[in-house]
Amino acid sequence: MTLLGAASDKNVPLEARRRRTFAVISHPDAGKSTLTEALLLHARAITTAGATHGKAGRRGTVSDWMAMEQARGISVTSAAIQFEYHDAVINLVDTPGHADFSEDTFRVLSAVDAAVMLVDASKGLEPQTMKLFEVCKQRGLPVITVINKWDRPGATALDLMDEIKDRTGLLPTPLTWPVGIAGDLRGVLDRREDDFVRFVRTSNTTAAPEERVSAAEAAIEQGDAWSVAAEESDLLHAEHQDHDEALFLDGQTTPVLFCAAVLNFGVQQLLDTLVEFAPSAEARLDVVGDPRPVTSSFSGFVFKVQSGMNANHRDHVAFVRVCSGVFHRGMVVTHSTTGRPFATKYAQQLFGRERTVVDQAWPGDIVGLVNASALRVGDSLFDGDPVEFPPMPLFSPEHFRVVRPQDTSKHKQFRRGIDQLDHEGVIQVMRSELRGDQAPVLGAVGPMQFEVVEERMTHDFNAAIRFEELPYQLARRTDRDSAEVLNRARQVEVLTRSDGTLLALFSTPWRLAALVRENPELVLHDLATAVDPAYT
């Protein structure tokens, strides 16, 4: 080991403690991308935010780099952004907001140490938020709750606290409390400092200043609104709804903050909360459940593969979460799946589409390995002591379509594009001898995934496609003996997924049930869902 490497290794505990790696989870349109930019703005990582007055008037956010994302005002891919705030290094992994991309979001949640649950003040805990919260719960991730859009009419703060407690099982422990009802944003009561943080309206593209006044001044200035907020805060204290760090990290409580991300208010309090309370990078469990200390030799795992992020080059970027040791650009690591060496010559950190070369990375950091076509989602990398981290389960597809090239002369581009999207985990690809290689079947968790496939095939691979919808609703794993029986049945089709798994597709749950009754010897298993065996 070089002297530089030895010196770096000594710094691992300190650098790991500085890292805060988290994801934002929410239902679509709760303001997740807006909050992402507001965080960057307050950390001075950008100078102006892309949001103006809602979806119709906003430019593309920093983390939404696909044309489809910018046009729709939603996130459909995950993006990793790193910035410094005070003495901490923040790794913010943005996630798809739409339920159709739950699989990508689950992968992101495997790579972070905490989650920020963003809740729309007027809508409360929506279905996608709850689905993602359950994944956080399974993974043991501490959750910080942010009530967004307090500048618009919505539910009362106390009602929202009751909903969080009843539906998540977590005890909400607000760190700030709104002064003024939803839609009448005046500021927040800082429950720890017992003072008032006044809302000051500024341009939506600049950080709102934090003006603090004493409780006595706030009582005169805000009158009844302050009195109500103070009384409700006292009520929370009487119910023991005050922050306790041990209970938060143990997954029993969730700190709560109130904000208006589009107005950039309440965002600095969130940054301060992440630095002060969110866990730093710690030992992670390997595939057999043993912890890999951060001070061990380098290790990491791939949680996302993406191509087409650079419009000038058709590169492949593998996003790697560093779990232990020090990553040095150019180091040769071992690819655990194949046992072969893998060179890391092109290592970058990505800020949306902007890239900077990274020479070193520490536990908790996200590194983009460019031209990493050999890596797949779930692969582990290590230097020194071998390690393999838990694999990424595939969700069960519920929508199925045959895909064909519009121009049959572009077979090579078509095949390369479909294989690449399969490699990235954008879609599940299945084939059969009957359909042939020119007409694979695509399986998706949600129909919007097909729109991503269509856009990527057209613009990234110059191979326009057409779809044919199939009348299937669910899939089951099977074996070759059962496949022979199923291939003779009506409203059933057996295909081979690209990983070699035999999948039987059924038209309806009732058709599946009838076949099982008629043929009890059939081997049919549920596909892996959003449950990681290492965490159950």
Distances in Å between the Cα of 92 and the Cα atoms of 25, 281, 365 are 11, 13, 10
Q: Domain limits at 412? A: 399-533
How confident is the model over 441-476, as pLDDT tens digits?
999 988 888 998 999 899 888 999 999 999 999 999
Q: Do 209 and 342 share a domain, yes or no?
A: no
User: In the predicted model, what is the mean pLDDT of the chain?
Assistant: 86
* Residue 96 annotated as lining a ligand binding site: yes
- Position 494 in a domain: yes
Q: DSSP code of 397?
A: P
Q: Distance between CA 19 and CA 87 in Å, rounded? A: 9
- Determine the average pLDDT of the residues in 15-35: 90
Q: Quick one: 404 and 529 in the same domain?
A: yes
Asked if 228 and 328 sit in the same domain, the reply is no
Verify that 438 and 493 share a domain, yes or no. Answer: yes
Q: Answer yes or no: do 36 and 182 share one domain.
A: yes
pLDDT at 204: 63
Asked whether residue 393 is assigned to any structural domain, the reply reads no
With CA atoms as reference, report the closest residue to 257 among 246, 267, 242.
267
Residue 393 has pLDDT above 60, yes or no: yes
Identity of residue 407: D
Number of other CB atoms surrounding residue 368 within 10 Å: 22
525 among annotated binding-site residues: no
User: Can you tell me which residue has the tokens 């023991």?
Assistant: 240
Single out the residue in 277, 295, 313 at which a domain terminates: 277
Structure-token pair, residue 412: 């090579």
| pLDDT classification of 308: cutoffs 50, 70, 90 | low
Tell me: pLDDT of 50 over 50: no
DSSP 70-91: HHHTS--S-EEEEEEETTEEEE
Quote the pLDDT of residue 72: 45
Whether 316 and 223 map to the same domain: the answer is no
Section 421-441 average pLDDT = 89
| Six token digits for residue 277 | 């309370």
pLDDT at residue 345 tops 70: yes
Whether residue 374 sits in one domain with residue 445: no
CATH of the domain at 480: 3.30.70.3280
Same domain, 256 and 294: no
Does the residue 317 lie in any domain? yes
The residue with greater pLDDT, 445 or 22, is 22
Q: Which residue has the higher pLDDT, 192 or 105?
A: 192
CA distance 457 to 451: 10
d(CA 190, CA 176): 5
> What is the mean pLDDT of the segment spanning 218-242?
97
Return the closest-CA partner of residue 533 out of 392, 425, 395, 397: 392
For residue 158, the SS3 value is: helix
Lowest mean pLDDT across 285-299, 339-353, 431-445: 339-353
Share of the chain above pLDDT 70, in %: 85
Give the residue from 277, 301, 336 where a domain finishes.
Answer: 277
State whether 270 and 158 are in the same domain. yes
344 and 447 assigned to the same domain? no
How many domains does the chain divide into? Answer: 3
Distance (Å, rounded) from C-alpha 304 to C-alpha 321?
10
Over residues 92-150, the pLDDT tens digits come to 987 765 565 667 778 888 999 999 999 999 999 998 888 889 888 888 999 999 999 99
Q: Give the CATH number for residue 260.
A: 3.40.50.300
Tens-place pLDDT, residues 509-528: 999 999 999 999 999 998 75
> Inter-axis angle of helices 102-109 and 127-139, to 10 degrees?
30
28 is in an annotated binding site: no
Q: Give the residue among 336, 246, 326 at the shortest CA–CA distance from 294.
A: 326
The model's pTM: 0.81
Question: Residue 1 domain-assigned?
Answer: no
As a whole number of angstroms, the longest Cα–Cα distance in the chain is 80
Q: Is 14 contained in some domain?
A: no
Tens digits of per-residue pLDDT, 351-365? 555 678 888 999 999
Question: 63 and 133, same structural domain?
Answer: yes
Residue 417 CA to residue 412 CA, distance in Å, equals 8
Q: What is the pLDDT of residue 483?
A: 95
217: exposed, middle or buried (Cβ count in 10 Å: 0-12, 13-18, 19+): middle
Judgement on whether residues 60 and 165 belong to the same structural domain of the protein: yes
Annotation-wise, does 97 bind a ligand?
yes
Residue 459 is assigned to a ligand binding site:
no
Is residue 33 domain-resident? yes
Tell me which of 63-72, 112-121, 235-244, 283-292 is least confident. 63-72
Residue matched to tokens 């795992």: 301
Helix, strand, coil content of the chain in percent (nearest 5): 30, 30, 40
In a domain, 11, yes or no: no
Q: Which amino acid is at 110?
A: S
The C-alpha atoms of residue 143 and residue 116 are separated, in whole angstroms, by 6
Q: Residues for the chain: how many in total?
A: 536
CA 158/CA 234 separation, integer angstroms: 12
State the average pLDDT over residues 82-95. 88
Q: Are 176 and 196 in contact (CB under 8 A)?
A: no
pLDDT computed for residue 210 by the predictor: 79
347 domain residue, yes or no: yes
Q: What band does 66 get if pLDDT is binned at 50, 70 and 90?
A: very low
Three-class DSSP labels, 450-508? HHHHHHHHHHCCCCCEEEEECCCCEEEECCHHHHHHHCCCCCEEEEEECCCCEEEEECC
**Which of 249, 277, 305 is a domain's end point?**
277
In this structure, what token pair is assigned to residue 408?
A: 């049959």
Average pLDDT for residues 388-404, to the nearest whole number? 89
- The strand pair at 19-25 and 88-94 is best described as parallel
Structure tokens at 170: 């977590």
